[in-house]
Structure 1
Amino acid sequence: MHLSRDVLITLIKVLSVIASAIILFFIGLMIGYGVVGDGSPTHVFSRALWQHIFEFIQL
């Protein structure tokens, strides 16, 4: 029983680190696009913007 609790605690720690990394990635996208790129920070989640970026990379 003690082993399963240790595994659960480790799993929660790993998932919290992954969730924190994802949240910080999106915050970084918003800061980079909004402050450095002089755009609207919420526009970074626009589908049209990402289509344009992927088209630019494929050329």
Structure 2
Amino acid sequence: MGMLYLGFAGFFLIYLILGWFTDVIEMSTFSAIFSVAFLFLNVYMFWKEKKKEKSS
């Protein structure tokens, strides 16, 4: 399950890179904030899942 969080974090990172540095995706302020929030949320959930697996 932890790798799923990293997969989604990677998706949001690619979305941010494409939106900021290319014209492929139209990046609005809301979508940038949304992507950054979900990127950090998925990384946090990955670390939380790994910590839970270690303690079990």
TM-score w.r.t. structure 1 length? 0.47
Larger Rg, first or second structure (1 or 2): 1
Give the structure with the larger helix fraction.
1
What's the TM-score, normalizing by structure 2? 0.50
